[in-house]
Copies of this chain bind each other. A is one copy, B any other.
Amino acid sequence: MKKTKLGEFEELVLLTVAALQHDAYGVEIKRELETRLKEKLSVGSIQSALKRMEEKGFLTSAFGEATLKRGGKRKRIYHTTSHALKVLEEMRAIRADLWRSIPLTASDLKMI
């Protein structure tokens, strides 16, 4: 693999940040990903993935504006770097190529 490597979970978090755009902060990313994966996630796992990816240059972050909402610490809003989008696209292409080269049988298709 690569030096600038992305883990499986990190990739999902990164894609979610890209999808959420300006609303990409820890707790909201957690909600969105829980909906999509249909399973419970811990906030900590998201936060540590975000932190790792910021250190590796996949994300930048800045504190969000104060909201009219009830309370809580200031939101840390994340944003994908162009490098992140490149890497995501590379991985998508590699997987797409692999899928295209898999000769699926009729019985395989039934199982899926």
Q: For the complex, is A65 an interface residue (Cβ under 8 Å from B)?
A: no
Proximity string of chain A (67-81) to chain B, C-beta cutoff 8 Å, 1 when within and 0 when not: 000000000000000
Q: For the complex, is A1 an interface residue (Cβ under 8 Å from B)?
A: yes
Q: Is B112's CB under 8 angstroms from A86's CB?
A: yes
Q: Is B82's CB under 8 angstroms from A15's CB?
A: no
Q: How far is the CA of A48 from the CA of B19 in the complex (A)?
A: 34
Q: For the complex, is A98 an interface residue (Cβ under 8 Å from B)?
A: yes
Q: How far is the CA of A60 from the CA of B7 in the complex (A)?
A: 25
Proximity string of chain A (1-42) to chain B, C-beta cutoff 8 Å, 1 when within and 0 when not: 111011111011001101101000000000000001101010
Contacts of A37 in B (CB 8 A): 1, 94
Query: Would A39 and B102 be within 8 Å (CB), given that A7-B8, A112-B89 are in contact?
Result: no
**Interface residues, chain A, with chain B CB atoms under 8 Å away:** 1-3, 5-9, 11-12, 15-16, 18-19, 21, 36-37, 39, 41, 45, 82, 85-86, 89, 92, 94-95, 97-99, 101-103, 108, 111-112
